[in-house]
């Protein structure tokens, strides 16, 4: 009797995990499809397609935060195993940490805070505006009473 209860609980947990995995994959597929549609629409309208800056932010966090923390962790592990090498290890770890924080900050300032491009005043009008202006002839205006 006890084994049937364990098997049924295991079946319920496994089927719940499979259900959650399927729903998660369907949601990720939906999100990817929405991003593709948004990107296609932006390209169609002649705008710059949207960028996902999540990976840029994660790269900055990894370089500026994870590298120094992991360096100090491994420096601590090294000095506990080999106490004679304390000074060179901590000097190296400190230099790597300072460099990583500096370049992580520079990367974040360069990537995440990109200046927004200013509109070009010398740019031509859209194709529709040119076509509408070129096709207009007041002598053959059929929408007003002037030409009658």
Instruction: Give the confidence band of 84 by pLDDT, cuts at 50, 70, 90.
Output: confident
The end-to-end CA distance of the chain, in Å, is: 97
Q: What is the DSSP string of 93-140?
A: HHHHHHHHHHHHHHHHHHHTTPPPPPPPTTSPPPHHHHHHHHH--GGG
Res. 132: pLDDT tops 60: no
Is 112 found in the same domain as 87? yes
Residue 137 located in a structural domain = no
Is 76 found in the same domain as 36? no
C-alpha angle with apex 109: 50 to 57, nearest 5 degrees?
55
Domain count along the chain: 2
Is 12 found in the same domain as 57? no
Residue 148 located in a structural domain = no
pTM for the model stands at: 0.45
Residue 14 located in a structural domain = yes
Q: What's the CA gap between 29 and 16, in Å, rounded?
A: 20
Is 81 found in the same domain as 31? no
Is 57 found in the same domain as 110? yes
- Token pair 């932006």 in the structure block, residue: 42
Q: What angle do the packed helices 67-81 and 86-111 form, to 10 degrees? A: 170
- Report whether 71 contacts 100 (CB < 8 A): yes
> Which residues form the domain of 109?
53-116
Q: What's the CA gap between 21 and 24, in Å, rounded?
A: 5
Residue 122 located in a structural domain = no
Q: Per-residue pLDDT tens for 40-80? A: 888 888 887 777 667 777 777 888 888 888 888 888 888 88
Q: Per-residue pLDDT tens for 16-43? A: 888 888 888 898 889 888 888 888 888 8
Residue 68 located in a structural domain = yes
């Amino acid at each position: 009797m006890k084994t049937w209860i364990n098997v049924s609980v295991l079946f319920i947990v496994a089927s719940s995990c499979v259900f959650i995995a399927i729903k998660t994959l369907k949601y990720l597929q939906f999100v990817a499809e929405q991003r593709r549609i948004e990107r296609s629409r932006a390209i169609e309208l002649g705008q710059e397609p949207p960028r996902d800056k999540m990976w840029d932010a994660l790269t900055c966090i990894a370089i500026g935060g994870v590298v120094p923390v992991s360096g100090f962790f491994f420096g601590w592990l090294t000095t506990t195993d080999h106490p004679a090498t304390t000074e060179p290890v901590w000097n190296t770890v400190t230099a790597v940490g300072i460099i990583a924080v500096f370049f992580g900050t520079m990367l974040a300032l360069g990537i995440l805070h990109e200046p927004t491009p200013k509109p070009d005043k010398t740019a031509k009008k859209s194709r529709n505006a040119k076509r509408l202006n070129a096709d207009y002839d007041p002598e053959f205006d059929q929408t007003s009473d002037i030409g009658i």
